[in-house]
Amino acid sequence: MNLILLGPPGVGKGTQAKLLIDRFGIPQISTGDILRAAVKDLTPMGVKAKGFMDSGALVPDEVVIGIVEERLAQADCVPGFVLDGFPRTVGQADALKGVLSRMGRGIDHVVSLSVDQKELLTRLTGRRACAKCGAVYHVEFAPSKVSGVCDACSGELYQREDDKEATILNRLKVYDEQTAPLISYYQECGLLRSVDGLGTVDGVQSAILSQIQG
Ligand code: AMP
């Protein structure tokens, strides 16, 4: 099963990807997670990406296309993959098509998740992540048992630099301008499966499954 999860920041792509990888035994490829790890490790790519990420801009296409091409060539992607946060531009979508066709592969479904902007802002401003294991919480909807401390590993919870309100507004603008055109791009390819992202995590997961297994 080769899947793309498409949608604005905060719509729940990461949460849904984690359930899909458990169900299908395939890896999640999150370009955001890979870039954040590179920033943390101070790799040359991380140093280059940090400024773009902190301001809510997109990292240049050639950087993220390189990341995904390398990741897709790894053995665990043979049974399938869930792309989360990639592609984000038409250039990336075209490049992905080329990479997959050289591998004799293709995309099975593009799941497009949507919720309104007010809900996205509430979800993103309340989001907290564990500095140690990456687990994600929400101060209101999914709080940790002890405030500021990860339930899973006791790591410290922090707010992502790009989850602060001014940056969020820029990320949503960037999404509308550069990523939303992919909805019609994949609709024209007959791959688009639209799912309402509002509701419980399990409810949204069921709606996704009925679209892709339907
Ligand atoms: P995310 O965790 O998916 O919201 O990504 C966090 C940030 O990483 C984005 O705001 C971008 O700066 C960068 N990023 C992640 N994926 C991509 C991509 N496919 N293209 C360009 N930049 C990306």
pLDDT digits (tens, 9 = 90+) for 141-194: 999 999 999 999 999 999 988 999 889 999 999 999 999 999 999 999 999 999
Cα 205 to ligand 1 centre (Å) = 23
Q: Please check whether residue 158 is in contact with residue 152, taking contact to mean a CB–CB distance below 8 angstroms.
A: no
Nearest to 35 by CA among 58, 13, 12: 58
> Ligand 1: does its nearest atom lie under 6 Å from the Cβ of 86?
yes
Angle value at C-alpha 11, between 171 and 49, nearest 5 degrees? 35
Cβ of 10 below 6 Å from ligand 1: no
- CATH number assigned to the domain comprising residue 190: 3.40.50.300
Residue located nearest, by CA, to atom 19 of ligand 1: 86
Catalytic residue among 71, 88, 123, 193, which?
A: 88
Residue 80 assigned ligand-binding role:
no
CA distance 175 to 173: 5
**pLDDT over 70, % of the chain:** 100
Distance from the alpha carbon of residue 168 to the mean position of ligand 1, in angstroms: 12
Q: Residue 214 above 80 pLDDT?
A: no
Classify 129 as helix, strand or coil: strand
pLDDT at 161: 87
Q: Are 124 and 9 in contact (CB under 8 A)?
A: yes
Fill in the DSSP letter of residue 149. Answer: B
- Per-residue model confidence (pLDDT) at position 168: 93
Does residue 146 belong to any structural domain of this protein? no
155: alpha, beta or left? (left if phi > 0; alpha if psi -120 to 50): beta
Distance 56 CA to ligand 1 centre (A): 8
The response to whether 167 counts as a known ligand-binding position is: no
What residue type is assigned to position 145 of the chain? K
Give the number of domains in the chain. Answer: 1
Q: What is the mean pLDDT of the chain?
A: 96
Confidence of residue 86 (pLDDT cuts 50, 70, 90): very high
% of the chain surpassing 90 pLDDT: 95
SS3 81: strand
What pLDDT score was predicted for residue 166? 87
160 is catalytic: yes
Sheet holding 157-158, edge to edge: 136-138, 127-130, 157-158
Residue 191 lies in a domain: yes
Residue 93 falls within a domain, yes or no? Answer: yes
51, 68, 146 from 43: Cα distances, Å: 14, 17, 33
**Domain annotation covers residue 135:** no
Model confidence pLDDT, tens digit, residues 18-70: 999 999 999 999 999 999 999 999 999 999 999 999 999 999 999 999 999 99
> Has residue 170 been placed in a domain?
no
Residue 44 lies in a domain: no
Please tell me the total number of residues recorded for the chain in this structure. 214
Nearest CA to ligand 1 atom 15: 32
Is 43 annotated to bind ligand? no
Q: Which of 50, 123, 127, 128 is catalytic?
A: 127
Q: Determine the Cα–Cα distance for residues 203 and 198; give it in Å rounded to an integer.
A: 9
Pocket lining: 193 vs ligand 1, CB cutoff 6 Å: no
End-to-end CA distance of the chain: 14
Domain coverage including residue 96 = 2-26+79-115+178-213
Give domain status of residue 94, yes or no. Answer: yes
Residue 65 inside a domain? The answer is no
Q: How high is the pLDDT of residue 128?
A: 96
pLDDT for residue 76 is more than 80: yes
Q: Do the annotations mark residue 58 as ligand-binding?
A: yes
Question: Is 123 designated active site?
Answer: no
